[in-house]
A = this chain, B = another copy of it.
Amino acid sequence: MEFHYPNGKKFISKKAETERTSIPFVHNAKSHGKRGMTLEEDLNETNQYYLDRGKAVIHKKPTPVQIVNVDYPKRSAAVIKEAYFKQASTTDYNGVYKGFYVDFEAKETRNETSFPLKNFHPHQINHMDQVVTHQGLAFVIIRFSLTEEIFLLPFKQLKLYWDRMEQGGRKSITKDEIQSDGFALKLGLQPKIDYLKIVDHILPV
C-alpha cells in the first residue's frame, strides 16, 4: 500500500527505509573490522587491569562526533538524531604512569610484510611530536593481524620513517624495520597486552 503526500510525492515509510539502509553500529563495526575492535578491546581490558591494580591511569578517549541535531523529549533522555564521525585531532589513548604522561595510538594492518603509514594522520604525528617535546612518552602499538604479531614502536622511530616518506621515500615501514626498531609484545591473559613492561625500558630516566 502506498501513501502520497499532498504534493504527489510518494511516501516511503521511515521505518522501512531505516531497516533497508541502516545497520546497528556495533554489529557493523564487528563485521567490518573485527581485528580493529579486538585490538581496541584488548587494550581497554589491559588499561582496566592496570587501573584496578594501581599500575597506571590510562584511558581511551571517546570517539569524536560532530553533533548536528538533538531531540529533547520530555521525561526522557536526550536523543542525538543526527551526528557525524569526526577525524581525531590527537591519539586515542593517554594517561599517567609513574608520573609520566603517556600517549599512544593503536593500529593494525592485514599486510604481512609492512605497515602502511597512511594509517596515521599528519595531525596525529604532529600531536605525538608535541608530546615528546613536552617530555611526554609517545609511541604506537602496531598489530599485524594475520600473524597476530604486536609491536610497540616509540614515536622517535616512527618519526624517522614518516620523514623518509615525506622526503619521497617508501610509504610504509617494513616489518623488518619494526622488528629491529620496536619491541615485540606477546599476547597474554592478565593483562592482555602488557605494554607498560616495554614502557619501563623507554622511560627517560
Contact = CB atoms under 8 A, between A and B. Distances in A.
Interface string A57-97: 10101111101111111000111111111100110001111
A74 to B, nearest CB: 9
A130 B47 CA distance: 13
A21 B96 contact: no
Interface string A1-16: 1010010000100100
A191 interface: no
A1 B9 CA distance: 14
Given A11-B3, A85-B78, A99-B101, A73 B21 contact: yes
A65 B1 CA distance: 38
Interface size range of chain A in the complex: 35 or more
Interface in A1-50: 1, 3, 6, 11, 14, 18, 21-26, 28
A93 to B, nearest CB: 11
